[in-house]
């Protein structure tokens, strides 16, 4: 199985770079499943029904989110009706939406996508480790599902790395999102799980983590509330990982980072 996992989509430029490159990547790499983090897709804050449909039309199979999932209030009434849009699974019981889903491919293979949010420097949600332990008790990699993917959305690299090792050998791919900066630790862990601490963002890197520089810098310099942060609108970089899985075990046989477009150094598996 061939998987593409794309980092946080930041604003219009992030949406543009995903929609520009994804159809070619799906075709040239023969991708079976594509997941994108979309929590900053709507002007940097949240996601809308219209943007979800735009990403699906470009070739996205599933969308994860994070701490900005509720920023666009329309998503609260929409999310229950969209089985491809996930919010973190460790929100309290009764929260709208879902944090895990099984997707059935055209050939019958099944992909379990899990989405969790960390707690260090983030919202005080339920324990993500206990949450994933309970969810994985329902499935067996290579038996009941052919792949298990995890988006762990969080600030602390230590917590995300701990989750990767906690799931080593039990998940196909564990990737971090939220920091908007791609880490250089792309690898397969000893137990066979593909891992990267943070995918980075799909957005304009001539910015402060996707936002226009002037307003972001002013917040640090003046230490007073200023104008609302807005996404940078220059040429974006698509940041992602491309993973190949063993069809029998569901574990990773290869992982490569991808960076296409914009001002970052380019890395392409093509």
Q: Which whole number is the average pLDDT over 138-164? A: 97
Query: Quick check: 39 and 69 in contact, CB under 8 A?
Result: yes
CATH 3.40.50.300 fits 2-260, yes or no: no
Q: CB within 8 A of 8, min separation 6: which ones? A: 14, 37, 38, 39, 40, 66, 177, 178, 180, 199, 200, 201, 202, 203, 210
pLDDT band at 140 (very low <50, low <70, confident <90, very high): very high
pLDDT digits (tens, 9 = 90+) for 154-208: 999 999 999 999 999 999 999 999 999 999 999 999 999 999 999 999 999 999 9
pLDDT band at 150 (very low <50, low <70, confident <90, very high): very high
pLDDT band at 226 (very low <50, low <70, confident <90, very high): confident
Strand-pair category, 2-6 with 201-202: unpaired
Q: CB within 8 A of 22, min separation 6: which ones? A: 4, 6, 34, 58, 59, 60
pLDDT digits (tens, 9 = 90+) for 95-106: 999 999 999 999
- The residues spanned by each domain of the chain are 2-260
Q: What angle do CA 170, 103, 43 make, to 5 degrees?
A: 100
Distance between CA 106 and CA 123 in Å, rounded?
37
- Confidence check: pLDDT of 270 > 80: no
Q: How many residues are present in the chain?
A: 270
Query: Quick check: 37 and 239 in contact, CB under 8 A?
Result: no
Average predicted confidence (pLDDT) for the chain? 96
pLDDT computed for residue 224 by the predictor: 79
pLDDT computed for residue 113 by the predictor: 98
Q: Which of 68, 115, 153, 178 does the annotation list as catalytic?
A: 68
Distance between CA 173 and CA 145 in Å, rounded?
13
Strand-pair category, 173-177 with 194-196: parallel
* Percent of the chain residues topping a pLDDT of 70: 100
Query: Quick check: 229 and 215 in contact, CB under 8 A?
Result: yes
Is 68 known to be catalytic?
yes
pLDDT digits (tens, 9 = 90+) for 55-112: 999 999 999 999 999 999 999 999 999 999 999 999 999 999 999 999 999 999 999 9
Q: CB within 8 A of 92, min separation 6: which ones? A: 125, 126
pLDDT computed for residue 269 by the predictor: 83
- pTM more than 0.75: yes
Distance between CA 63 and CA 243 in Å, rounded?
17
Nearest of 182, 162, 184, 231 to residue 174 by alpha carbon: 162
pLDDT computed for residue 78 by the predictor: 98
Beta strand ranges found along 53-172 (DSSP E): 62-64, 100-104, 110-117, 147-153
Q: Which whole number is the average pLDDT over 211-228? A: 88
- Confidence check: pLDDT of 228 > 90: no
């Amino acid at each position: 199985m061939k998987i593409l996992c794309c980092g946080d989509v930041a604003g219009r430029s992030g949406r543009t770079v995903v929609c520009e490159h994804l159809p070619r990547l799906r075709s040239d790499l023969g991708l079976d499943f594509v997941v994108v983090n979309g929590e900053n897709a709507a002007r940097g804050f949240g996601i809308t029904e219209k943007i979800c449909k735009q990403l699906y039309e470009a070739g996205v199979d599933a969308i994860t989110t994070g701490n900005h999932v509720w920023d666009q209030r329309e998503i609260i009434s929409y999310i229950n009706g969209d089985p491809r849009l996930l919010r973190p699974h460790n929100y309290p019981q009764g929260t709208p939406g879902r944090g895990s889903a099984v997707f059935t491919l055209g050939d019958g293979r099944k992909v379990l996508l899990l989405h969790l949010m960390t707690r260090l420097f983030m919202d005080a949600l339920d324990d993500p480790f206990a949450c994933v332990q309970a969810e994985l008790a329902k499935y067996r990699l290579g038996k009941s599902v052919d792949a298990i993917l995890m988006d762990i959305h969080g600030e602390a690299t230590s917590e995300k790395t701990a989750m990767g090792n906690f799931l080593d050998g039990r998940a196909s791919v564990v990737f971090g999102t939220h920091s908007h900066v791609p880490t250089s630790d792309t690898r397969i862990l000893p137990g066979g799980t593909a891992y990267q601490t943070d995918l980075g963002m799909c957005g304009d890197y001539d910015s402060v983590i996707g936002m226009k520089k002037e307003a972001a810098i002013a917040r640090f310099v003046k230490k007073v509330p200023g104008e609302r942060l807005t996404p940078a609108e220059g040429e974006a970089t698509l940041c992602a990982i491309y993973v190949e899985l063993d069809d029998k075990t569901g574990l990773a046989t290869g992982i490569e980072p991808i960076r296409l477009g914009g001002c970052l150094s380019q890395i392409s598996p093509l």
